[in-house]
Amino acid sequence: MKLLEAMTQTPSIAGREDRLRNLILKHAAGLFDQTCVDSLGSLICHRKPRNPRTHRKKPRRIMIAAHMDQIGFMVHHIDSKGFLRVQSVGGFDPRNLFSRLVTVCTDVHNTKGDLPGVMNPGGKPVHIASEEDRKRVPEISDLVIDLGLEVKEVTPKVHIGDMVVIRAPFMEVGKTIVGQCLDNRVACWLAIRALEHVQQHDCEIYVVFTAQEEVGCRGAGPAADSIQPDIAIALDTTLCVDTPGVDETQSVTLQGSGAGLMVMDGRTIADLGLIEEFEKIAKSKKIKAQRTILARGGTDASTIQSKGSGYRVMSLVCPTRYIHTVTEMIHLDDLYATRDLLAAFLSTTS
Ligand SMILES: [Zn+2]
């Protein structure tokens, strides 16, 4: 859990994945035979078959895609008083963005350049706001960051395009973990932990920690092009809306019911054979799994599927309550079920 916590506290928005990539490399390099970083910043890790039972000339190539980036912001304007305005990078709901502590990363490579700040919608406090002001939901363009510094101290340090992330703790809450960007730090963590469990496999394993998923699944396609996998699994989170205020027909997944097998989402229809293969393994290993369909949205599977001559894909997903907020919540049973199912698939597929 220490590693997962460190991952959630490592700012890495789309296009600025450098810090998380370095953290992953530190922990994962020993698990693989080869690692490289492609032009978009995706980290491609390769492991040859280990203690294989079969000795095929051409072992199957399995690609696991876990996106590294989180939703966040970039500085897009510094005003004459030193207040910052931001551009969102990925899909935040502005209803969740009041009174946040943030970090402005003025040097993507060095935490010494990080500046703390406070982010609020511009406008009047409740004491002096009109009735109309109070009802209005602010837009991202209304958000203002106050660094507590004078403009002459801000402008030499802060650049247009600097990464901004919200500060939020990682905690165990009941039988769950809660934190920001569990989408998709859990997948990066799951890929590492699953690989640690897999002692024997007949297939070639490529784990790709992809770049720029949150802005349209941009990193996974080029990585698939270079790997040309027989099978690709996008490892991600998905909605779990089994909470008050939502009809049970729209829950997507149920917390505590195990790993999610995404049959279809807004951008991909999974290979049915793969869904059935995962179900069979889950049943034989007594690992909890649930089929799910998501009406809108997609994963890295969407861009991988239609690359080259087309690839067989599926998304293996972890049910996540309050997704795309900074209090994303995942049940430990679901987390471990997803890890065990991925490890079992990699050990048995040939
Ligand atoms: Zn995601």
- Model confidence over 192-231: pLDDT tens digits? 999 999 999 999 999 999 999 889 889 899 999 999 999 9
pLDDT tens per residue, range 256-279: 999 999 999 999 999 999 999 999
User: pLDDT at position 22, please?
Assistant: 97
Please give the distance, rounded to the nearest whole angstrom, from the Cα atom of residue 348 to the centre of ligand 1. 26
Q: In degrees rounded to 5, what are phi and psi of residue 228?
A: 50, 65
User: pLDDT at position 171, please?
Assistant: 96
* Single-letter code of the amino acid located at 339: R
Query: Residues of the chain with pLDDT > 90: what percent?
Result: 81
Confidence of residue 316 (pLDDT cuts 50, 70, 90): very high
Q: Return the half-sphere exposure (C-beta side, CA atoms, 13 A cut-off) of residue 324.
A: 14
Spans of all domains in the chain: 2-70+180-348, 72-166
Please give the distance, rounded to the nearest whole angstrom, from the Cα atom of residue 318 to the centre of ligand 1. 10
b/e sequence 80-89, b meaning 16+ C-beta within 10 Å? eebbbbbebb
For residues 191 and 169, give the distance between their C-alpha atoms in angstroms, rounded to a whole number: 23
User: pLDDT at position 224, please?
Assistant: 94
Classify domain 72-166 at the CATH superfamily level.
Answer: Peptidase M42, domain 2 (2.40.30.40)
Question: Does CATH number 3.40.630.10 belong to domain 2-70+180-348?
Answer: yes
CA distances from 283 to 189, 263, 280, 316 (A): 24, 17, 5, 16
Q: Return the half-sphere exposure (C-beta side, CA atoms, 13 A cut-off) of residue 315.
A: 33
Please give the distance, rounded to the nearest whole angstrom, from the Cα atom of residue 13 to the centre of ligand 1. 12
- At residue 129, does pLDDT exceed 80? no
342 sits in the region (left: phi over 0; alpha: psi -120 to 50; else beta) called: alpha
Confidence of residue 124 (pLDDT cuts 50, 70, 90): low
| Contact predicate 348/281, CB 8 Å | yes
Mean pLDDT along residues 24-39: 93
Residues facing 177 on adjacent strands: 172, 330
Query: What's the angle, vertex CA 234, arms to CA 212 and CA 185, rounded to 5?
Result: 60
- 72, exposed or middle or buried, with CB in 10 Å at 0-12, 13-18, 19+? buried
Mean residue pLDDT of the chain comes to 93
User: pLDDT at position 320, please?
Assistant: 96
Residues facing 321 on adjacent strands: 329
Annotated active-site residue 213? The verdict is yes
Please give the distance, rounded to the nearest whole angstrom, from the Cα atom of residue 68 to the centre of ligand 1. 9
Q: What's the pTM?
A: 0.94
Q: Looking at 17, 204, 213, 328, which residue is catalytic? A: 213
Q: In degrees rounded to 5, what are phi and psi of residue 165?
A: -130, 155
Please give the distance, rounded to the nearest whole angstrom, from the Cα atom of residue 66 to the centre of ligand 1. 8
